[in-house]
């Protein structure tokens, strides 16, 4: 009878071939539920019944239901067809740890022992640290931040590496670190990323992936982040790891579209030089995956031009950020700024042209303070710099901070050359390529939006997918994000290919609506408005807050690498990439989505640890999680229906060892489950 039942379940899975997910409750005053609805439902009827709708989908809602309401009683509401209370899941920085399958690694289930990152350094280069947040302490309340380096600070000891003194200060004793507050009182970003990778406060469930790892924090003001300072931070972390003789993984949740995206940028090369056994870099893929920030084009002849218009934000009047244009070696080109009246189609302003000089850097500033004609239409400045860069390619960089006096005034760039040449352009997420309906203006694409800093095989690049759409706030309300439906690709997650034709990111991890520790010294009104119910320890309030971005998904992977490094301290980036290739899971969203966006798939920390340890596959364990259950039947069905995936799984899913994955393997798994 049991075997018949399992075959029935397998049949349902074959027919549905769907993803089974569940939600988690937020506190004891309510529970979460899926509510199936039809067209007869009027939303306020649910609200009157004590239900808060948190998200709408085709044919069903997710909702918060007051704890005293029986789920079955909601079926009396006209239009409600079914109510399914949420299944409570293991939570940590939202549901990031659950979806990344971390718990069994912490518990040591079917492994030789538990793994929590002990003996591994997690380096975090960021801004907005609360160095003594309870989430960054151990069970005894002692900080796990072992060292702090701040490139702009002058009150501590100046670090010396080799024969060089790094600018800034370092703090390496518990007493010194205990006296620190924050590096930036206007952001909470660094406290979030450090907490996601290595947070340890367990009372509220929002702790990190590697809770016993040691933390080295490199911090500076958000407005002062530069590639040079980040390179100095890398040097400091590597030097510290060498001095204490421990492996380290470095998380960099920062990005840039200014570089050539071919692996030749200076900061990328710094990572390449330090990368090696026990030295792994994890960097966010970027947040421009929904925007037209990349353009591949060409100038055909001397009379030809490449012209694009720049859209903005702030009601369409502001244009801020960078626009970089890269040409071919030994083929200089020129650029000019212009403004068009979008109502009359008239070009009302054109700057002097700026040409790339092979011998020097040329700078032209268009400022409304000294250009009366430009000041008629815009306020602010645009600095254009032309140079031949470190990879011998000519580049023109446009640094914009402009606000139009009227929405009809649109700013653009025009490029031209005496010789035919190819151009690749990138712009930031605050200014996009558009054509505003003009056939002479070129538009961009999100393909190629990948962060320049990840365009090297010495770096693990991380994209984002959604695991949550709502978060509780400390005032009792719920924060809701559109376009964050679990468990889909995050709309913002940037992707390649890079300029070498390599598809990136390597893997995706939870990065949307992640709940993590916040900076208690943060005074920014927007951030304070998003504080969640806090942790109170010995009379001190420690905030938590939700956020989204590949900045949040990268530290999930960095924490995973720390766990794997505890098992093998000599892991390299190539090793980690191979582990990700072998262990990442591919659900229907991955299989049916753009492979350039998903990489190897979704992070599976448990399956990755089994790869690190070379744990022998359990007979029937088709999905590699160390157990044999109904999920293995689902995996086999997925493989049978998607033969292209078989090569990645045949070593574990060929249960009967006949060299194929077919219905007989499902039968073999059912026999194993039933003990036959």
pLDDT tens digits for range 310-343: 987 766 788 888 899 999 999 999 999 999 999 9
Q: Quick count: other Cβ atoms within 10 Å of Cβ 201?
A: 24
Nearest residue to 184 via CA among 518, 529, 540, 521: 521
The CA–CA distances, whole Å, from 470 to 32, 423, 467, 513, 639 equal 11, 42, 10, 7, 33
Cβ 554 vs Cβ 507: under 8 Å: no
Q: Could you tell me the two tokens for 224? A: 């002062």
Q: What share of the chain is helix, strand, coil (3-state, %, to 5)?
A: 25, 30, 45
Q: Tens digit of pLDDT for each residue in 241-291?
A: 999 999 999 999 998 888 899 998 888 988 999 999 999 999 999 999 999
pLDDT in tens, 453-487: 999 999 999 999 999 888 888 888 888 888 888 88
For the segment(s) 23-85, the CATH number from 1.20.120, 1.10.540, 1.10.10, 3.30.70 is 3.30.70
Mean pLDDT of the chain: 86
pLDDT for the residue 98: 86
More confident residue, 619 or 284: 284
In this predicted structure, the answer to whether residue 68 has a pLDDT above a threshold of 90 is no
pLDDT at 593: 92
Please give the CATH number for the structural domain made up of 294-434.
2.60.120
What is the reported pLDDT for 550? 94
User: What's the distance, CA 421 to chain centroid?
Assistant: 34
Using the predicted structure, report yes or no on whether residue 155 has a pLDDT greater than 50: yes
What average pLDDT does this structure show over 614-625? 72
Q: What pLDDT shows up at residue 257? A: 87
Q: 406-421: per-residue pLDDT in tens?
A: 999 999 999 999 999 9
What is the rounded distance in angstroms from the CA atom of residue 604 to the CA atom of residue 114? 16
pLDDT at 92: 29
CB contact at 8 A, 499 and 489: no
Neighbours of 659 (CB within 10 A): 7
Sketch the domain layout of the chain as residue ranges: 1-21+621-676, 23-85, 100-289+452-577, 294-434
Q: Rounded to whole angstroms, how far apart are CA atoms 637 and 11?
A: 9
CA distance 295 to 326: 10
Question: Is the fold of 23-85 the same as that of 294-434?
Answer: no
H helix intervals, 94-157: 96-99, 103-107
The rounded distance, in Å, linking the Cα atoms of 162 and 204 is: 43
Reported as a pLDDT band with limits 50, 70 and 90, residue 405 is: very high
Structure tokens that stand for 116 in this block: 């929590």
Report cis status (omega within 30 of 0) of the bond before 487: yes
Q: For residue 650, is pLDDT > 70?
A: no
Does residue 26 have a pLDDT over 70? no
pLDDT band, residue 24 (cuts 50/70/90): very low
Cα 287 to chain centroid, rounded: 7
Interval 548-589: pLDDT, tens = 999 999 999 999 999 999 999 999 999 999 999 999 988 889
Question: What span, in angstroms and rounded, lies between the C-alpha atoms of 506 and 581?
Answer: 8
Span 433-461, average pLDDT: 95
Distance in angstroms (rounded) separating the CA atoms of residues 532 and 479: 9
Inform me whether the pLDDT recorded for 605 exceeds 60.
Answer: yes
Residue with tokens 């004891």: 28
pLDDT band at 11 (very low <50, low <70, confident <90, very high): very low
The hierarchical CATH code for the domain 100-289+452-577 is 3.40.50.200
CA distance 591 to 594: 8
Q: Calculate mean pLDDT across residues 498-525.
A: 94
Q: Using CA atoms, how far apart are residues 576 and 458, in angstroms rounded to an integer?
A: 10
Least confident of 55-59, 89-93, 306-310, 595-599: 89-93
pLDDT of 414 reads 96
């Amino acid at each position: 009878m049991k075997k018949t039942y399992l075959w029935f379940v397998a049949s349902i899975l074959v027919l549905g071939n769907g993803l089974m997910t569940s939600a988690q409750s937020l506190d004891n005053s309510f529970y979460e539920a899926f509510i199936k609805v039809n067209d007869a439902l009027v939303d306020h009827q649910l609200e009157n019944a004590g239900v808060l709708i948190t998200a709408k989908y085709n044919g069903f809602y997710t909702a918060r239901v007051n704890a005293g309401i029986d789920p079955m009683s909601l079926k009396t509401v006209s239009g409600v067809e079914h109510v399914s209370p949420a299944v409570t899941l293991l939570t940590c920085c939202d549901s990031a740890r659950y979806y990344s399958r971390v718990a069994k690694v912490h518990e040591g289930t079917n492994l030789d022992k538990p793994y929590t990152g002990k003996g591994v350094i997690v380096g975090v280069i960021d801004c907005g640290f609360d160095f003594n947040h309870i989430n960054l302490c151990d069970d005894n309340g002692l900080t796990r931040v072992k060292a702090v380096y701040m490139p702009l600070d002058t009150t501590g000891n100046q670090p010396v590496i080799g024969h060089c003194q790094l600018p800034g200060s370092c703090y390496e004793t518990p007493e010194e670190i205990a006296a620190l507050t924050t590096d930036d009182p206007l952001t909470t970003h660094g406290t979030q990323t450090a907490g996601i990778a290595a947070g340890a406060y367990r009372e509220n469930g929002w702790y990190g992936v590697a809770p016993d790892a040691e933390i080295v924090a490199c911090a500076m003001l958000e407005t002062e982040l530069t590639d040079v300072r980040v390179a100095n931070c890398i040097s400091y972390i590597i030097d510290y790891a060498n001095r204490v003789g421990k492996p380290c993984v470095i998380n960099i949740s920062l990005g840039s579209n200014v570089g050539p995206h071919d692996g030749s940028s200076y900061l990328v090369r710094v990572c390449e030089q330090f990368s090696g056994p026990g030295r792994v870099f994890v960097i966010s893929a970027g947040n421009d995956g929904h925007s037209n920030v990349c353009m591949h084009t060409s100038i055909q002849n001397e009379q030809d031009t490449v012209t694009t218009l720049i859209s903005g934000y702030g009601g369409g009047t502001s244009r801020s950020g960078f626009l970089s244009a890269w040409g071919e070696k030994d083929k200089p080109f020129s650029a000019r700024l212009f403004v068009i009246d979008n109502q009359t189609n008239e070009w009302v302003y054109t700057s002097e042209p700026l040409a790339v000089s092979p011998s020097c850097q040329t700078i032209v500033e268009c400022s409304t303070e000294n250009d009366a004609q430009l000041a008629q239409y815009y306020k602010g400045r645009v600095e254009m710099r032309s140079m031949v860069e470190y990879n011998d390619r000519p580049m023109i960089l446009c640094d914009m901070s402009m606000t139009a006096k009227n929405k009809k005034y649109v700013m653009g760039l025009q490029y031209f050359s005496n010789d035919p040449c190819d151009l690749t352009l990138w712009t930031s997420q605050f200014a996009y390529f558009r054509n505003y309906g003009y056939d002479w203006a070129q538009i961009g694409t999100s393909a190629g939006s990948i962060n320049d800093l990840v365009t090297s095989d010495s770096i693990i690049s991380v994209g984002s997918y959604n695991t949550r759409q709502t978060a509780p706030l400390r005032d009792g309300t719920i924060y809701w994000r559109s376009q964050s439906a679990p468990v889909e690709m995050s709309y913002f997650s940037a992707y390649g290919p890079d300029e070498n034709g390599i598809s990136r990111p390597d893997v995706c991890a939870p990065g949307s609506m992640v709940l993590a520790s916040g900076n208690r010294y943060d005074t920014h009104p927007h951030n304070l408005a998003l504080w969640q119910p806090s942790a109170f320890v010995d009379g001190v309030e420690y905030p938590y807050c939700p956020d989204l971005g590949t900045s949040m998904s990268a530290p999930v992977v960095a924490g995973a690498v720390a766990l794997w490094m505890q098992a093998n301290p000599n892991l390299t980036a190539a090793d980690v990439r191979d582990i990700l290739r072998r262990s990442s899971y591919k659900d229907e969203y991955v299989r049916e989505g753009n492979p350039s966006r998903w990489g190897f798939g979704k992070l599976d920390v448990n399956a990755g640890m089994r790869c690190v340890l070379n744990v022998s596959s359990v007979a029937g364990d088709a999905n590699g999680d160390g157990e044999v259950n109904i999920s293995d039947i689902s995996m086999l069905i997925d493989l049978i229906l998607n033969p292209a995936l078989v090569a990645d799984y045949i070593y574990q899913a060929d249960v009967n060892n006949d060299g194929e994955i077919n219905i007989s393997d499902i039968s073999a798994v059912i026999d194993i489950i039933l003990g036959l």
